[in-house]
Structure 1
């Protein structure tokens, strides 16, 4: 069995910096988190199974899958009790990384993917971990391999999505992704439908099948969830919080909030501040 291994790169670069990486073969039911991490991270599962929780969504992971973690975002990782996972991982940061990651079709809200037919990404991750043991290792090589990984992901992930565009699961997942990344603006379900280029009735059926509520109600509840989180910790005005969560006016926000939460926004805020 391969031994667990962690390396750190001390050749700091403020623009593009592969900070660390390693290999871990976990024990049954081993749990990490819920905790946040510093830097961006990619985990490649080389064996076994486990559970990954990101943005309060649970993903059941297996060999060949990838997990993506954004800086300071809370995640939980739990190894399977019968077939615990092993994985290679890398952590990276820098001023250029955020720009690059915004061009790749992965995020905190959509953090898992599998590239079964394209081995270059896992190969490069394994290469980085193995290269870290070279006594003549160079920051230039680290960054070159990291850029190869990011470029491959940029080229591969859109193709994965387009090849599966007829899949109801992919359409449903893309709808969730769009809502969670655009709820702050005054989007409507018409915007979601236009983005996906699907029939509104079809999208409604997908949400009913998966959540037993329609997409409009899901958008409303997601905005209320984010608003209630802000009301607990923020001293900003309720009008500001409402607009930050996509509600066009205080009046509409207060009406909807009371309907679903059972309190007015000000009553709810006073309970926590």
Structure 2
């Protein structure tokens, strides 16, 4: 068995807590018990059973199962053909969203990559052996954990899944805001935001307005104008420079939106805010 434990506060969005590989003995089992973090097992060889929420699942090579925090589970290796599996345990603000995109939950904890699982095996191998590879092992491990989720999401058969728990909705709203704050200077659209997050545009817009009280487009415009207002205090920047810095190639449109949001044209706003006190 190989396992390492660590917690790095630099990776708040997705933190790898521990990981490993184990060739189980016949009948080897865990639980019934619960974890306080997410954990995914992937079956490399053999067979076993997984029990959660009153359901029992039979698993084999190429399949895996999810354990969610505070959920009582029990899993057991087959007596005749005990499984060998790898696992990753993780937490972070993006965890719920990534699992949602991969169509995994306590109600649907099983995924199946079939016999074509070389990509997953390679990814897990990279995670497990990254620590001894080079000085940047923590960054490398986290990068491979993102790749792990990319594989799960690519093999998901249920697109545009909508969150059912309140915390899931809040997570998506946070992702919208984070995306805007990181990309407001680019030519982004509501559709590009929805595509990045992995939800239907109409559903994401409705969810965001219910939680925030404004549309995504309105939030984007107001955020851009707030940033533009801050930039007007830098006299080395022209109004055109400021417009381009907040995602507008058309200076006239930028000025129109600036006045609509802040009540003054950018040139007047700058003059008023930077004028010396009498």
Smaller-chain TM-score bracket: 0.5 to 0.7
1:79 aligns with 2:80: no
Secondary structure of residue in 1 paired with 2:156: helix
Please list the CA deviations of residues 35-62 of structure 1 after superposition, one character each: whole Å capped at 9, or x if unmatched. Answer: 1112211111111111111211111111
Secondary structure of residue in 1 paired with 2:141: helix
Instruction: Note if contact 1:88-1:129 (Cα within 8 Å) is conserved in structure 2.
Output: no
Counterpart of 1:57 in structure 2 is 55
Distance in 2, Cα, partners of 1:40 & 1:10: 14
Shift of 1:118: 4.6
TM-score, normalised via structure 1 length: 0.54
Instruction: Note if contact 1:79-1:85 (Cα within 8 Å) is conserved in structure 2.
Output: yes
Distance in 2, Cα, partners of 1:137 & 1:86: 29
1:17 aligns with 2:15: yes
Distance in 2, Cα, partners of 1:65 & 1:156: 12
1:34 aligns with 2:32: yes
Shift of 1:89: 0.5
Shift of 1:128: 0.4
- What does 1:147-162 correspond to in 2, within 5 Å? 147-158=146-157
Shift of 1:135: 5.6
Regions of 4+ moved over 4 Å: none
Larger Rg: 2
Instruction: Note if contact 1:68-1:107 (Cα within 8 Å) is conserved in structure 2.
Output: yes
Counterpart of 2:269 in structure 1 is none
Secondary structure of residue in 2 paired with 1:29: coil
Instruction: Note if contact 1:28-1:81 (Cα within 8 Å) is conserved in structure 2.
Output: yes
Counterpart of 1:7 in structure 2 is 4
Distance in 2, Cα, partners of 1:60 & 1:121: 20
Secondary structure of residue in 2 paired with 1:151: helix
Secondary structure of residue in 1 paired with 2:12: coil
Instruction: Note if contact 1:47-1:87 (Cα within 8 Å) is conserved in structure 2.
Output: yes
The verdict on how the C-alpha distance between 1:133 and 1:37 changes in structure 2, with shifts beyond 3 A counting, is: farther
* Matched positions, count: 161
Instruction: Note if contact 2:130-2:137 (Cα within 8 Å) is conserved in structure 1.
Output: no
Instruction: Note if contact 1:124-1:145 (Cα within 8 Å) is conserved in structure 2.
Output: yes
| Cα RMSD for the two superposed structures | 2.3
List runs of 5+ in structure 2 lacking aligned partners: 166-278
